[in-house]
Amino acid sequence: MDTKFQTSFIPKKPIIPSGKAEHNVHPTNFFSLLTSVLLVITLLAAAGVFAYQGYLSNRIKTLDTQLAQMEETFESELITELSHIDSRLKSAKSILENHLSTVSLFELLEAITLQDVQFTNFDYTLGSNGITVEMSGKARNYSTLVLQSDEFVNSKDVRSIVFSNLDLDSTGNVLFRLALQINKTGFLYKNSIQTLSFEGFPF
């Protein structure tokens, strides 16, 4: 009996190419790479944040300097403007304090001038010692002129009186020149306005 041999070409084990070893993929290598990448990104981000903080710090310093300069300029302009306003206010105050109320002065002359006396010329000057009033006029006679002089003397506002250039006109009237020194306190605008009556005004 012939013996039969069964020949099979199917290998029982996997065929491994000669000269090449089996490689295994280790998860540790992937995580190390990922960690390195994240570390680099973190370092770059930290450097960016640090650089941005430096930029912001320099920007803040620049803005502070500009703000200080603007404040100095504003304060200087404001001080100059306020100084001008103060000067104008002082000038206005001085003018008002020395402003003469001519209405009150005319009211005084009207009150103490006799009916038979007429003034034909009027001039006044305001000085530190009072008001100097110079007038020309005429009276019916010398007796009337004496009575007029008494009226001036009896007035608390008149400090002195001087009659001069006495003469007669063609009808017998006495012509004269008169100089009066009047206390200015009661005739200054700031004082006389306090005596005005506002009755009937809506305030």
- What are the tens digits of pLDDT across the range 14-53? 555 555 445 555 566 777 888 888 888 888 888 888 888 8
Please give the single-letter amino acid code of residue 70: M
Same domain, 81 and 114: no
Flag whether 165 is in a domain: yes
For residue 168, what pLDDT is reported? Answer: 93
Same-domain pairing of 80 and 110:
no
Give the integer Cα–Cα distance in Å for 142 and 158: 21
149 & 119 share domain: yes
Domain identity same for 48 and 127: no
**How many domains is the chain built from?**
2
Q: Are residues 119 and 94 in the same domain?
A: no
Does residue 9 sit within a domain?
no
Q: What is the pLDDT of residue 10?
A: 54
Domain-terminating residue out of 69, 98, 127: 98
Domain boundary among 98, 126, 149: 98
Same domain, 122 and 54: no
Q: Which residue has the tokens 């000067």?
A: 87
Greatest distance between any 2 Cα atoms in the chain: 201
Tell which of 98, 126, 155 closes a domain.
Answer: 98
Name the residue with higher pLDDT: 6 or 142.
142
Give 145-202 pLDDT, tens digit per residue.
999 999 999 998 898 999 999 999 999 899 999 999 988 877 776 665 555 444 443 4
Same domain? 127 vs 51: no
Q: pLDDT by residue (tens digit) across 51-108?
A: 888 888 888 888 888 888 877 777 787 788 888 888 888 887 777 776 777 788 888 8
- 184 in a domain, yes or no? yes
**Same domain membership, residue 111 and residue 63:** no
126 burial via Cβ count (<10 Å: 0-12, 13-18, 19+): middle
Which residues constitute the domain of residue 91?
29-98
pLDDT, residue 31, reads 77
What pTM was estimated for this model as a whole?
0.49
CATH number at residue 131: 3.30.1360.100
In the prediction, which pLDDT does 192 show? Answer: 58
The answer on 127 and 74 residing in a single domain is no
80 and 62: one domain?
A: yes
